[in-house]
Amino acid sequence: MKNKFGSVYFSIFGLIVLGLGIAELIIGVAARSFTWSILEISGEFLLWKGIILFFAGFFYLSSVKNLTEIHQLAKNVMASVMLWTIAGMQIFAIITESIPGGEEGWINTWEGFLSAYSPPYIPALILLPFSLVTIYYVYAREK
Amino acid sequence: MLDVEQRWELIDKIAKRTIKFGKYRHTLKDAIAEITVKPLTGIPIAIAVLYGFWAFFVAFAGFFTDGFLVKLFDMHWLPWLQEVFPAGKESWLYYIFVGDPLAENCFEAFGMLTSGLFVAIGVVLPAIVAFYLVLIVLEDSGYLPRLAVLIDTVLHKIGLHGYAIVPSILSLGCNVPACTACRILETKKQRFIMRTILAIFIPCGAQLGIMLKVIPETVGWVILYLLIGYFILGFILSRIVPGESPELLLDIPSYQRPTFSNVGRKLWVRTSSFFTTAIPFVLLGVIIINVLYLTGVIDWLAAGLGPLLSGWFGVPKETVGALIVAFLRKDLAVAQLSAIEMTKYQMVTSVVLVSIYFPCIATFIMLLKEGGAKGFLGSLAALVATVFLYGGLLHLIWILLGVA
């Protein structure tokens, strides 16, 4: 049952990750940007991020058959690690940009600090919470 | 005394009584270790790791340099020095230590206490710390040997093997320890190729930090151009240098979590050498270049080398000062380039020239020490040929694109 849920979940999730990876690649090659609601596809290293998301999606999809088998789960974990690398570096970049004060002073104002964390966000950041399901499967296997 | 057969019998008896055989349970760590060395899965993972490496480097260095240190040096340190420096603004002492009296930022001032300190502490130090921090985490986690296995096939094309990734990555921090790290390669041929291509084509962490500040939009293209050169020169050298290129035999450790104390200790050892070896060279470099300007040597050299620089490489003759200082510190040379008026394409060519031109003096000494006189002269010959051909090629590309 657990296996079936995971397979369905990561099939859908993998397709979304793969799709967003392709979108980042296309927009990166065309040197354009795209914003929709809280989602934004633009910024530095867009091609790199697109390639990584594309392969992460591919790894998720290739891991769905017999997900709890150790080699399949390893692919799933690495797909999540790739996603976490992009999202983690984005969070780190937001934090480092939110603290310095720019022209006005050494430290940012409270409003300036908070506005750095406001949307829109890159795809990997939006996908991040949904990828945490992997952790459940890792712990479930260890138990 | 036991003969060989009796010894083996004894070993068998001891083994039977002490070793317990059971079924090995494959862990998730083992499975992850396997997929990180298989090309189909390992290469995308390596791309993600290298992206993380670069993104952390940019964000960390940017936080300290752009967030605080630029402000500290440009808005406080420079005006204060310009105000309190005891020698008059027309004096040679002021020129050497503070630099241009009209400068509004430390990049343009080019005095020992302004640009010298700003480059060393304000730009290079955060870049070096960021670089070594990630490198140490990758080393201690056990990922680097896997990267070596993954890249083995590619590096065989240039007469090296997977382990050459260690000096190559170390070189992105500093070329000096990377020259020593070439000892892990087995044959003289491999060590010569590695030392030569890293000294020419791999920019050090200090230089990367400055490049990121001076040409942020084109730094990726510059690195790509250097990377292509790394493989082209490696391929040529592997064909013309006599000797063997053996296969890789590597013991891969299991993945493990890096400990804070180990990472901290290694980081301190590597960055503390920056204070003792790099900073004095940066400060000395500014003094020498300012003295050469004051005595008219730079103008004389610029006039003499002008036709070569502007004709063959397509860069302004004023870059001669930066090329001289590059012999002491390449980061300082790139910083000096930023003060010269030129087009974007000329700037890219100048930065590439500074990178592939003579390695800094510390690397030079290491090339001589590690390769002996013969190896050193060989590297030097490859270097001179590369500067002229590869530097000229970039100018040709700009001409063909119609931007030169």
Domain residue spans of chain A = 2-137
The verdict on A117 touching B (C-beta cutoff 8 Å) is: no
Phi-psi label, residue A107: left if phi above 0, alpha if psi -120 to 50, beta otherwise: beta
Mean pLDDT over A26-54 rounds to 89
Query: Which chain A residues are closer than 8 Å to B49 by Cβ?
Result: 85
- For residue A45, name the pLDDT band (cuts at 50, 70, 90): confident
Out of A5-19, A21-35, B83-97, B388-402, least confident range: B83-97
The verdict on A11 touching B (C-beta cutoff 8 Å) is: no
Asked if residue B2 belongs to a domain, the reply is no
How high is the pLDDT of residue B331? 79
The verdict on A143 touching B (C-beta cutoff 8 Å) is: no
CA dist list (Å): B298 to A139, B95, B289: 67, 15, 8
Residue B157 domain boundaries: 37-401
> Degrees (nearest 5) of the Cα angle A8, B46, A138?
40
- Residues A122 and A104: their CA atoms lie apart, in Å, by 28
pTM of the model: 0.83
The answer to whether residues A141 and B28 touch, using CB atoms and an 8 Å cutoff, is yes
- For residue A1, name the pLDDT band (cuts at 50, 70, 90): low
Query: Which chain B residues are closer than 8 Å to A44 by Cβ?
Result: 58
How high is the pLDDT of residue B4? 85
For residue B248, report the phi and psi dihedrals to the nearest 5 degrees: -90, 130
Q: Is the dihedral of CA A74, A75, A76, A77 positive or negative?
A: positive
- For residue A8, name the pLDDT band (cuts at 50, 70, 90): very high
- Name the residue of chain A whose CA is nearest to B52's CA: A85
Tens of pLDDT, residue by residue over A50-94, are 999 999 999 999 999 989 899 999 999 999 999 999 999 999 999
Preferred mutation among A24, A53, A55, A125 to probe B, highest tally of B CBs within 10 A? A55
The answer to whether residues B163 and B248 touch, using CB atoms and an 8 Å cutoff, is yes
Complex-level ipTM beyond the 0.90 threshold: yes
DSSP state of B216: T
The verdict on A110 touching B (C-beta cutoff 8 Å) is: no
The verdict on A141 touching B (C-beta cutoff 8 Å) is: yes
Residues of chain B predicted below pLDDT 50: none
Phi-psi label, residue B244: left if phi above 0, alpha if psi -120 to 50, beta otherwise: beta
Minimum-distance CB partner of A89 among B36, B45, B59: B59
- Name the residue of chain B whose CA is nearest to A76's CA: B32
Tokens at residue A136, please?
Answer: 């459940």
- For residue A131, name the pLDDT band (cuts at 50, 70, 90): very high
Minimum-distance CB partner of B47 among A51, A92, A100: A51
CA atoms within 13 A on the CB side of B7: 4
Q: Is B299 exposed, middle or buried (0-12, 13-18, 19+ CB in 10 A)?
A: middle
* Total domain count, chain B: 1
Q: Alpha helices, DSSP H only, in B260-360?
A: 260-273, 279-294, 297-306, 320-326, 330-337, 344-356
Query: Which chain A residues are closer than 8 Å to B52 by Cβ?
Result: 85, 88-89
- Name the residue of chain A whose CA is nearest to B61's CA: A96
- Residues B402 and B342: their CA atoms lie apart, in Å, by 16
Examine the pLDDT at A17 and tell me if it is beyond 70.
Answer: yes
How high is the pLDDT of residue A2? 65
Asked if residue B19 belongs to a domain, the reply is no
Phi-psi label, residue A102: left if phi above 0, alpha if psi -120 to 50, beta otherwise: left
Tokens at residue A77, please?
Answer: 């974990």
SS3 category, A39: strand
Preferred mutation among A18, A53, A73, A82 to probe B, highest tally of B CBs within 10 A? A82
Higher pLDDT, B154 or A21: A21
| B203 cis-preceded (ω within 30 degrees of 0) | no
How high is the pLDDT of residue A26? 93
The verdict on A116 touching B (C-beta cutoff 8 Å) is: no
Asked if residue B296 belongs to a domain, the reply is yes
